[in-house]
């Protein structure tokens, strides 16, 4: 059995508020978030529920994170504390999201663990992706709802978040397509990582890619390749 990471250790301690996660999520979080553990960072997490993940992030980031949380349930306001601010509203309400955009500082990490419907995931992405810093991370979880009718999904259904996010793959290649514009997404996204039920988008300022060569071809290589290259 692999050694547990610090998130898993915290999760299995049980002396904290209820947290409900898929077992493999902790490895994904740790893989992407560990570089920020000792920095002063701002996190926005959509979805508070019992407040357990707020405690988990505070522990994982050694108290260095200011946590902004969103939930539609007004009861969640009680989880506010010295390191957490809770906003009550719906992640599919564009006016509410605009308000968040106005009042929140730039974000190092945004985690969408809210209601998981297609409309919620897409609206949140469209309204708040730009709020993530140029070296920040956007993570949306429970993407399996893209396959569930109840959440507005369905296999290969055009309006699912999975289908929506497949366009991101074309967008990071816009430089090569001669069709797509090189837009803000192309210029700000370094990489897109898919796992079961999670997408992680890592930002980094990007410029047009170029290829490089190094080393000297041997005479034999030249003789072998040149006739082919000339064809
Ligand atoms: C999966 S739970 C969050 C769990 C929490 N992050 C944790 O790991 O312990 C989802 C939460 O999203 C909230 N929610 C559902 N629909 C929402 C919406 N439209 N906007 C904001 N929050 C919503 C629910 O009230 C619920 O508390």
* Domains, the chain, with CATH or none: 6-230 (3.40.50.150)
R_g (Cα) of the chain, nearest Å: 21
Rounded Cα distance between 200 and 170, Å, is 16
CB 170 within 8 A of CB 177: yes
* Coil, helix or strand at residue 197: coil
Query: Which atom of ligand 1 sits closest to the CA of residue 50?
Result: 9
Q: Is the dihedral of CA 180, 184, 185, 186 positive or negative?
A: positive
Ligand 1 centroid from CA 50, angstroms: 9
Cα(181)–Cα(198) distance, integer angstroms: 27
**CA 168–ligand 1 middle distance (angstroms):** 25
* φ, ψ of residue 156 in degrees (nearest 5): 60, 20
64-108: pLDDT as tens digits:
999 999 999 999 999 999 999 999 999 999 999 999 999 999 999
From first to last of the 231 residues of the chain, give the pLDDT tens digit: 579 999 999 999 989 999 999 999 999 999 999 999 999 999 999 999 999 999 999 999 999 999 999 999 999 999 999 999 999 999 999 999 999 999 999 999 999 999 999 999 999 999 999 999 999 999 999 999 999 999 999 999 999 999 999 999 999 999 999 999 999 999 999 999 999 999 999 999 999 999 999 999 888 888 888 766 665
Q: What is the pLDDT of residue 217?
A: 87
**Spatial separation of the C-alpha atoms in residues 71 and 73, rounded to whole Å:** 5
Residue 48 Cα to ligand 1 midpoint, Å, equals: 5
- Count Cβ atoms within 10 A of the Cβ of residue 5 and give its class: 0-12 exposed, 13-18 middle, 19 or more buried: middle
pLDDT value, residue 119: 98
The pLDDT value given to residue 219? 86
Which of 7, 18, 114 for a ligand 1 pocket mutation test, highest count of atoms within 8 Å of Cβ?
Answer: 114
* 76 CA closest ligand 1 atom index: 27
Q: What is the pLDDT of residue 230?
A: 60
């Amino acid at each position: 059995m692999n050694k547990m990471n610090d998130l898993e250790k915290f999760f299995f301690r049980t002396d904290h508020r209820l947290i409900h996660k898929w077992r493999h999520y902790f490895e994904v979080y740790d893989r992407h978030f560990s570089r920020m553990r000792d920095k002063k960072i701002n996190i926005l997490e959509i979805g508070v529920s019992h407040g357990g993940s707020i405690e988990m992030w505070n522990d994982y980031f050694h108290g260095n994170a200011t946590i902004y949380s969103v939930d539609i349930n007004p009861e969640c306001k009680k989880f506010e504390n010295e390191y957490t601010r809770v906003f009550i509203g719906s992640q599919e309400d564009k006016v509410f999201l605009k308000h968040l955009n106005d009042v929140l500082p730039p974000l190092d990490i945004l985690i969408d663990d809210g209601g998981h419907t297609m409309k919620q995931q897409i609206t949140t992405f469209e309204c708040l992706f730009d709020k993530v810093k140029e070296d920040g991370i956007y993570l949306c979880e429970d993407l399996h709802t893209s396959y569930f009718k109840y959440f507005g999904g369905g296999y290969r259904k055009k309006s699912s978040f999975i289908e929506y996010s497949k366009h991101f793959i074309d967008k990071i290649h816009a430089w090569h397509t001669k069709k797509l514009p090189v837009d803000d997404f192309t210029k700000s996204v370094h990489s897109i990582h898919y796992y079961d039920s999670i997408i992680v988008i890592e930002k980094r300022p990007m410029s047009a890619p170029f290829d490089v060569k190094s080393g000297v071809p041997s005479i034999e290589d030249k003789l072998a390749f040149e006739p082919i290259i000339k064809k």
